[in-house]
Amino acid sequence: MNTDLSNKNNGNNVTRLLDNEPVGMTVQVVRVLGDGAFRQRLLEMGFVRGARVTVVKNAPLQDPVEYMIMGSHISLRHSEASQVEVTDNDAEFCDMEDAYRGVVETEMPAIDPMADNVLRVVLVGNPNCGKTSLFNNATGAREKVGNYGGVTVDSKEGWFVVDGRRVQLVDLPGTYSLTEYSPEEMYVRTYISENHPDAILNIVDAGNLERNLYLTTQLMDMNIPMVVALNMWDELEKSGDKLDIEMMGRLLGARMVPLTAYNGHGVKEVLQATMDAIDESEQETLHHNVNYGTLIEDYLKSLGAMCPNLDRYTVLKIIENDQHAIERLNGQANAEEVKKAAAEIRQHIERDYNDDIVSIITDLKYGFVRGALAEALTPNPDRATNETKPGYSLDKLLTNRWLALPILLVLMWLMFEATFTLGAYPQDWIESGISWLGEWIGKALPAGILRDLIVDGIIGGVGGVLVFLPQILILFFFISLLEDSGYMARAAFIVDRIMHRVGLHGKSFIPYLIGFGCGVPAIMATRTLENRRDRIVTILTVPFMSCSARLPAYLLLVAAFFTANQGLVLMSIYLIGIIVAAITAIILSKTILKHDKTQFVMELPPYRKPTARNATIHMWSKGKQYLQKMATIILAASIIVWALGYFPRHEGQTPQEQIEQSYMGRMGKAIEPVVAPLGFNWQMGVSVLTGAAAKEIVVSTMGVLYTGESDATEESASLKNKLQNAVTPEGEHVFDPIVAYSFMLFILLYFPCIAALVAIKREAGTKWMIFEIFYTTGVAWLVSFIFYQVARVF
Amino acid sequence: MTTSTLIQTIVVLGIVAIALVYVLRRIIKTTRGQGDCGCGCGKNCQHKKKND
């Protein structure tokens, strides 16, 4: 943290930097120092001249720091906050005026909305403003919503019907602006430019209009029919603030509709307004844009005339020297002329305003928004202060300097312990049901290959995984509650300093968290990381966050071989995964992916009461996915594994000889020398190989290989019992707690499933995918080897 | 081999063949980035594939 350097003597005025302001202090922004994309991101998040910023608290490890600006809570590291020059002297801003100059009207020719036979509407808005909730309500989909940014990182498509007309609705990732600071922002901008939607449905948080409407001012310049949905309208009403929607709509030149997406209020009206906007565009209309003042408007007109095929937004970006916008000139005959003219315009504007172009345009946009809000919004004078807002006391506790990390660990432990204790009862019922089914079919069908396939292959394989459905549902229910409450973003804030120490970014916490469910969306969620190096390190370490597909294997082995402290044993596996991820990140940061300075700016969403409805929907959605997997890939893989273990068959073989001489047995024997030092037999070796298709298949393979080895009495019918009683030809037990833990470590760490590997290839490249296969398997072998050999000694 | 055993064997081998074809097709589709996003959410998958 800067101390003496923070307060520089600048003539008669002492320059103060934000990072040195104490907790509780409220100051105003003078300027943002430096240059580059991060500076632009700070400006766009609201750190513009005159904006009031309050220092809320330091993270438990004293970095990063939580600030409140424009009604939002933003997290910045000290090194980033030192780029913001501030003052508490109001006199510095007495020459500022809210620069609302109204809108300019542009004549737009009529457009044919069915030009490509599809009516298409895109959902655009800040992260965490309710786009996916609206999407789910409008289309009947069950996409995941979460109270943290980065939940939606790819577009999702659905359909809705209004007045008999079918319209495609596209849910785009949340973005604070269209400036392409991160891959997801680039994705949104590119999607809109290339797909030319018929309308934009801009969702804003009605309780946080000043920052949310910044994106609206950019969308206005794209000259696409737009409707602004004021989401979380119920929270605005509760706060006592009054917004004159009609006036606001007139001032912005856009239709505005109140909405409460999570319970569906206002959804019909929003969709109808969108259709009305599309219908209007079929005639020649006047489109409204932000008025930047006479000087800049004249320049926009003159430059726009030189490139008539580009929209106003792109022309403005060319003036701002945005490289992606400038690339769109490629191929144009007068491209060089346009670039030269834009450079001259930029110099003139900067000279006139005595500031850099990015600050000027951002200031003008925020001025426009502030001016409009000054007319249309009447704040409640008795509005809750930060300290009286619901969730404040809870937040103080959960992010307390000494308690935050222990609370995080306790919550994780409670989640795992509940998974075991509560899940044990339904698990027993399912297990009994499957055993009964196996016995009934065994008696109903005559002995033969078909009966063996059904009982040993299908029921043994699929049943072995199906019994874990209750635990999976319970785990996801708790994860959903934590996510929806807003605690997960706080967790990223808490652990950022630790992540930074190991060469990671605090925002990597979100993909890691998603990775506990499934590696594929977790790898995709790394798109929220702006820096490519951070993304690759996170992608390579996400597979160490044990996904839910590996959970059946842990649950089976923990239940079979650890009678006490089951929750603790399971938690230790997850923690080891996290530790290995941290060590890997450190190694990568010091070698092939050297750690460079990365920025951490993240919005902290407000705490929200998680709804049982949402958690249940999410839990059910996960359950459906699990059952779908059972009925497809797990079923098919179980059949194949059974066949490999069944053939070839010869007369007079004992069951032991038959399985060892089967195709599966031969494969297993071939790799046995590699896995024997880890304490594994060939069956375990083959099981981990089959896990390449899907990790649940590890258990279903074990189910197939161990079914039929012992007499099927009622007590020994379960796979758990079979593992407990499995013996070598010499009569020794195959499994004990050491072998079981070594096996769990290997399952935790070795290469992820094919779907995850393909996701790695898509997001990082083939080279990194191959690296991941060898690295993770090597680490798994080494860790299991060390554990097994050392544990044996003791 | 009796008739019943022969029929059972044919049926079982047919089921195994179908399972094998399904798994291979799924692997090929996943490696090509076709079908669903690979997350396992099935044929109603709403995830659009990113146009790289």
Question: Which residues, including other chains, have CB under 8 Å from residue A488's CB and lie 6 or more apart?
Answer: A146, A147, A148, A482, A509, A510, A513
* Two structure tokens written together for A155: 């577009």
Residue A264 near residue A140, CB atoms below 8 Å: no
The amino acid occupying position A451 is R
Query: Would you state the pLDDT for residue A597?
Result: 59
CA B50 from centroid of its chain's CA atoms:
24
Q: Does a structural domain hold residue A677?
A: yes
* Same domain membership, residue A723 and residue A579: yes
Q: Does a structural domain hold residue A316?
A: yes
* Same domain membership, residue A217 and residue A161: yes
State the count of interchain CB pairs (< 8 A) between A and B: 90
User: Which among B4, B8, B19 is the nearest to A636, CB-wise?
Assistant: B19
Q: Which residues of A touch B45 (CB under 8 A)?
A: none
Q: Do A640 and B16 touch (CB under 8 A)?
A: yes
Query: B27, B30, B46: best mutation site toward chain A, by most A Cβ within 10 Å?
Result: B46
- Cβ neighbourhood burial of A739 (10 Å; 0-12, 13-18, 19+): buried
Q: Do B40 and A143 touch (CB under 8 A)?
A: no
Q: Do B40 and A755 touch (CB under 8 A)?
A: yes
* Same domain membership, residue A368 and residue A237: yes
Residues 507-526 of A with CB under 8 A from B: 518, 520-521, 524
- Cβ neighbourhood burial of A304 (10 Å; 0-12, 13-18, 19+): middle
* Two structure tokens written together for A127: 């992260």
* Same domain membership, residue A768 and residue A733: yes
Query: B2, B31, B34, B47: best mutation site toward chain A, by most A Cβ within 10 Å?
Result: B47
Domain stop point among A42, A72, A96: A96
pLDDT digits (tens, 9 = 90+) for A27-68: 999 889 887 777 888 888 889 888 899 999 888 777 788 899
Residue A45 near residue A1, CB atoms below 8 Å: no
* Two structure tokens written together for A338: 């346009």
Domain stop point among A361, A377, A393: A377
Q: CB contact, 8 Å: A629 with chain B?
A: yes
* Same domain membership, residue A330 and residue A249: yes
Residues 375-394 of A with CB under 8 A from B: none
Measured in angstroms, the CA of A165 and the nearest CA of chain B are apart by 21
pLDDT digits (tens, 9 = 90+) for B12-28: 999 999 999 998 888 78
* Token pair 């973003």 in the structure block, residue: A489
* Same domain membership, residue A83 and residue A154: no
Q: Do B22 and A632 touch (CB under 8 A)?
A: yes
- Alpha-helical runs (H) found in A177-266: 183-195, 209-220, 233-239, 245-252
Measured in angstroms, the CA of A640 and the nearest CA of chain B are apart by 6
Q: Do A154 and B31 touch (CB under 8 A)?
A: no
Q: CB contact, 8 Å: A446 with chain B?
A: yes
Query: A172, A633, A696: best mutation site toward chain B, by most B Cβ within 10 Å?
Result: A633
Measured in angstroms, the CA of B25 and the nearest CA of chain A are apart by 11
Q: Please state whether beta strands A84-87 and A226-231 pair in parallel, antiparallel, or not at all (unpaired).
A: unpaired
Range of the domain at A180: 103-377
* Same domain membership, residue A708 and residue A584: yes
Length of chain B, in residues: 52
CATH of the domain at A140: 3.40.50.300
Q: Does a structural domain hold residue A279?
A: yes
Q: CB contact, 8 Å: A643 with chain B?
A: yes
Query: B4, B5, B16: best mutation site toward chain A, by most A Cβ within 10 Å?
Result: B16
Q: Do B12 and A449 touch (CB under 8 A)?
A: yes
Q: Do B15 and A632 touch (CB under 8 A)?
A: no
Q: Please state whether beta strands A242-243 and A377-378 pair in parallel, antiparallel, or not at all (unpaired).
A: antiparallel
* Same domain membership, residue A353 and residue A448: no
Q: How many Å apart are CA A213 and CA A216, to the nearest integer?
A: 5
Q: Which residues of A touch B5 (CB under 8 A)?
A: 448-449
Identify the closest residue of chain A to B12 by CA–CA distance.
A450
CATH of the domain at A51: 2.30.30.90
Q: Do B23 and A448 touch (CB under 8 A)?
A: no
Q: CB contact, 8 Å: A155 with chain B?
A: yes
Tell me the pTM.
Answer: 0.71
Burial profile A374-397: b = 16 or more Cβ within 10 angstroms, e = fewer:
eebbeeeeeeeeeeeeeeeeebee
Q: Does a structural domain hold residue A651?
A: yes
Residue A192 near residue A142, CB atoms below 8 Å: no
Q: CB contact, 8 Å: A628 with chain B?
A: yes
Q: Which residues of A touch B20 (CB under 8 A)?
A: 636, 640
Q: How many CA atoms lie within 13 A of A642 on its CB side?
A: 31
Q: Do A755 and B20 touch (CB under 8 A)?
A: no
Q: Do A755 and B38 touch (CB under 8 A)?
A: yes
Q: Which residues of A touch B50 (CB under 8 A)?
A: 154, 187, 762
Q: Does a structural domain hold residue A174?
A: yes
Q: Do A632 and B30 touch (CB under 8 A)?
A: no
Q: DSSP code of A528? A: G
Q: Which residues of B touch A520 (CB under 8 A)?
A: 37-40
> Does residue A379 come out as left (phi exceeding 0), alpha (psi in the -120 to 50 range) or beta?
beta
Residues 720-779 of A with CB under 8 A from B: 754-756, 758-759, 762
How many domains does chain A contain in total?
A: 3
* Same domain membership, residue A656 and residue A603: yes
Question: Which residues, including other chains, have CB under 8 Å from residue A669's CB and lie 6 or more apart?
Answer: A660, A682
Spans of chain A below 50 pLDDT = 1-12, 147-148, 709-717
Residue A118 near residue A168, CB atoms below 8 Å: yes
Q: Where are the beta strands (DSSP E) in A239-381?
A: 242-243, 255-258, 285-290, 377-378
* Same domain membership, residue A68 and residue A114: no
Query: Would you state the pLDDT for residue A716?
Result: 41
Q: What phi and psi values does residue A304 have, to the nearest 5 degrees?
A: -60, -35
* Two structure tokens written together for A459: 């029921």
Query: Would you state the pLDDT for residue A93?
Result: 67
Q: Which residues of B touch A636 (CB under 8 A)?
A: 18-20, 22-23, 26
Q: How many Å apart are CA A752 and CA A80, to the nearest integer?
A: 36
Q: Do A141 and B46 touch (CB under 8 A)?
A: yes
Measured in angstroms, the CA of B1 and the nearest CA of chain A are apart by 11
Domain stop point among A38, A68, A96: A96
Residue A356 near residue A350, CB atoms below 8 Å: yes
Q: What phi and psi values does residue A204 have, to the nearest 5 degrees?
A: -125, 155
Q: Please state whether beta strands A120-125 and A199-205 pair in parallel, antiparallel, or not at all (unpaired).
A: parallel
Residue A533 near residue A592, CB atoms below 8 Å: no
Q: Do A635 and B30 touch (CB under 8 A)?
A: no
User: Which among B9, B20, B48 is the nearest to A640, CB-wise?
Assistant: B20
Query: Would you state the pLDDT for residue A447?
Result: 86
Q: Which residues of A touch B22 (CB under 8 A)?
A: 632, 636
User: Which among A156, A450, A754 is the nearest to B30, CB-wise?
Assistant: A754
Q: How many CA atoms lie within 13 A of A215 on its CB side?
A: 29
* Same domain membership, residue A579 and residue A490: yes
Identify the closest residue of chain A to B31 by CA–CA distance.
A758
Q: CB contact, 8 Å: A441 with chain B?
A: no
- Alpha-helical runs (H) found in A562-634: 566-590, 612-629
Q: What phi and psi values does residue A616 have, to the nearest 5 degrees?
A: -70, -40
* Same domain membership, residue A494 and residue A566: yes
Residues 177-206 of A with CB under 8 A from B: 187
Query: Would you state the pLDDT for residue A227?
Result: 94
Q: Which residues of B touch A448 (CB under 8 A)?
A: 4-5, 8
Identify the closest residue of chain A to B2 by CA–CA distance.
A448
Q: CB contact, 8 Å: A571 with chain B?
A: no
Q: Does a structural domain hold residue A385?
A: no
Secondary structure class of A84 (helix, strand, coil): strand
Q: Do B15 and A755 touch (CB under 8 A)?
A: no
Q: Which residues of B touch A (CB under 8 A)?
A: 4-5, 8-9, 11-12, 15-16, 18-20, 22-23, 26-27, 30-31, 33, 37-42, 46-48, 50, 52
